[in-house]
Structure 1
């Protein structure tokens, strides 16, 4: 089972609690990411910290509550605030490098090749509820955890996060609003634009009461980094492909499936740099869509089976590390698999690839 922590109180108090409880895991993730910044992204620690410091100043203006949460994590874990801030904008730092012509060969061929998400509409599910889910694929060594948060306004949130990243990135809340995510890259991504960072947007989404409010958070300007956000509530789901140049909006009658490529970037004025691994992303999306369509009205066990699909292994929907990755850099795998019933407000999560690790059930 993943570490599980209940949090409440002010953002600073929540940060203190997370930092104290997960101090060792946070130290581990900081070491992992700063090594990755330097070895794979060619960013020495002082440059990574400089970017984190600049971004923290922007976050203080964009969302003081989130900034207070980072201060709490730093105080609770005993880590420098600049390091915690850098960790919380690691998406902007790393994905910016992915999109560069000078990116290391390993990055250009592989990362961010992970994460396959879906939404299954109520009319096509076994129990008549809206379901969301995904496999979150990332570096094998990253340490995550599950948070059960009670906000001062009474909103309750179940969310997965990486230890040291505040607020949550995949999950649902007591208003029946759910969120899944995928990494994307496009021409124009630029961390130095200092738009609201990816993890601040997921933090804000999970605290909204209505789907329309969550959508507004995602599409708000300025957008200086690409990303995909799959949102659902009640009987509606929408997929938002975000880039600095435009926004792709997708809705379907039966199901939505998304991996790590834009579905039709030219339709929305989005330009994608040449990245060789995108064929693997297409394969995962096609396989998950196929598996969801095999059953007329899928239930929980069907969704588990779909996310456990190993076709094309190791680069499958259910991802495991390939032998070549151990020689080239940080191996990738499915870190967690998440399934959410937005009607009953239940969440199932696996600690590792679901074909060999059981799901554990939680409820908001």
Structure 2
């Protein structure tokens, strides 16, 4: 089965990749910029001038810290005929909308399973990405091969460079939005989604963790990272990292797997804003752990597969604010959310899987890394 949205495949230097992506996705990028300019006004009180000023600051910081990623994003703007500062603001939408407040129940439930606990012997990552339903119409899968042959495939909001994805080194990432009392505007921070792209440009897990730790940031996020092993030599690895401004905490798999939702589970010394308003995050990660553990308990080898992860991602416990999230019409329109897409990553096979959400009503399609 093919993927449910367009795959944009580009190759070359970062600038060449960005320009080709921008040109191919120009109408979607324009629509997404309009969508977020409206959200910045309605949710953060930012007019176009304020958005561009914030984007200019993000652009300067990105060019200093991650110049190859910045070169790609600059070229996306040129290729799409878009304003570069607005595109940087787009990639920093989490900082701009939620930087000083976090009064929604932004979703996402992530799972990582070590290769020792999968039936195929491959390391698996996956997540449900919960966001505003209208966002589904402005999404792409971006597949790039740089001038050195290094490949990345990732889900992306049009005009952004990354979200959940994997690369040709067998490194993958899933993500969850967090909120802490350290979030907020400050000089020199790199946007959330630029950081994600820099993580996916890493060719080993230690390098990805360096990027996560060393990138100046103004928003809290959770990164579920994994890397495939090498057959006959060593196994894969999975680690979950809660990255807040100025600090980070980490979780390792227990009984072969780790799960995460949208609240802080490590001992980082911040106030978790999820505590201020509650919501489904407080049970979704734990429920995913219980569901996966129950599947393992029913099997002598205690191993799971992609089909088992699909079962978890389609779970309706706590409906409508479940792991498989559905819109609650009682929410304010700007705060309505559902599972927009569900992602499955087989790091050893370099397979990227995607289902339109909520996944209870849709099948997963898969592609493998390898540009034609």
Task: Give me the TM-score of the superposition, normalised by structure 2.
Answer: 0.90
Q: Is the 1:38–1:44 Cα contact (8 Å) retained in structure 2?
A: yes
300-309 or 214-223, larger mean C-alpha shift:
214-223
2:70 aligned to 63, 67, 72, which one? 67
Q: Is the 1:260–1:278 Cα contact (8 Å) retained in structure 2?
A: no
Confirm whether residue 40 of structure 1 aligns to residue 58 of structure 2: no
Partner of 1:333: 338
Q: 1:61 to 1:330 in 2, by over 3 A?
A: same
287-296 or 229-238, larger mean C-alpha shift:
287-296
Partner of 1:93: 96
Partner of 2:165: 171
Confirm whether residue 315 of structure 1 aligns to residue 326 of structure 2: no
Confirm whether residue 161 of structure 1 aligns to residue 162 of structure 2: no
Measured after TM superposition, the shift of residue 286 of structure 1 is: 1.8
In the alignment, the residues of structure 1 paired with residue 62 and residue 86 of structure 2 have an alpha-carbon distance, to the nearest angstrom, of 14
The C-alpha deviation readout for 1:120-177, integer Å capped at 9, x for no partner, is 11221122221100011111111211122111121111111110012x2211111111
Q: Is the 2:110–2:261 Cα contact (8 Å) retained in structure 1?
A: yes
In the alignment, the residues of structure 2 paired with residue 135 and residue 38 of structure 1 have an alpha-carbon distance, to the nearest angstrom, of 27
Partner of 1:103: none
Partner of 1:251: 252
1:191 aligned to 174, 182, 185, which one? 185
In the alignment, the residues of structure 2 paired with residue 223 and residue 90 of structure 1 have an alpha-carbon distance, to the nearest angstrom, of 13
Q: Is the 2:341–2:354 Cα contact (8 Å) retained in structure 1?
A: yes
Specify the SS of the correspondent of 2:134.
coil
Specify the SS of the correspondent of 1:314.
coil
Q: Once superposed, which parts of structure 1, at least 4 consecutive aligned residues long, lie more than 6 Å away?
A: none
Measured after TM superposition, the shift of residue 303 of structure 1 is: 1.0
Partner of 1:361: 366
Q: Is the 1:171–1:179 Cα contact (8 Å) retained in structure 2?
A: yes
Partner of 2:19: 16
Q: Is the 2:100–2:184 Cα contact (8 Å) retained in structure 1?
A: no
Confirm whether residue 132 of structure 1 aligns to residue 133 of structure 2: no
In the alignment, the residues of structure 2 paired with residue 274 and residue 66 of structure 1 have an alpha-carbon distance, to the nearest angstrom, of 31
In the alignment, the residues of structure 2 paired with residue 222 and residue 55 of structure 1 have an alpha-carbon distance, to the nearest angstrom, of 11
The CA RMSD measured in Å over matched residues stands at: 1.6
Partner of 1:303: 309
Measured after TM superposition, the shift of residue 182 of structure 1 is: 0.7
1:115 aligned to 97, 108, 116, which one? 108
In the alignment, the residues of structure 2 paired with residue 240 and residue 122 of structure 1 have an alpha-carbon distance, to the nearest angstrom, of 19
Aligned length: 350
Measured after TM superposition, the shift of residue 183 of structure 1 is: 0.6
Partner of 1:237: 238
Q: 1:252 to 1:337 in 2, by over 3 A?
A: same
In the alignment, the residues of structure 2 paired with residue 329 and residue 252 of structure 1 have an alpha-carbon distance, to the nearest angstrom, of 35
Q: Gapped runs of 5+ residues in structure 1?
A: 100-107
Confirm whether residue 349 of structure 1 aligns to residue 354 of structure 2: yes
Partner of 1:200: 194
Confirm whether residue 182 of structure 1 aligns to residue 176 of structure 2: yes
Specify the SS of the correspondent of 1:294.
helix
Partner of 2:8: 5
Partner of 2:299: none
2:222 aligned to 212, 219, 228, which one? 228
The C-alpha deviation readout for 1:238-273, integer Å capped at 9, x for no partner, is 111011242111102321101100013xx2322223
Q: Is the 1:147–1:159 Cα contact (8 Å) retained in structure 2?
A: yes
Measured after TM superposition, the shift of residue 91 of structure 1 is: 2.0
Q: Is the 2:88–2:191 Cα contact (8 Å) retained in structure 1?
A: no
Partner of 2:233: none
Q: Gapped runs of 5+ residues in structure 2?
A: 230-235, 297-302
Q: 1:246 to 1:61 in 2, by over 3 A?
A: closer
Task: Give me the TM-score of the superposition, normalised by structure 1.
Answer: 0.91
Measured after TM superposition, the shift of residue 330 of structure 1 is: 5.1
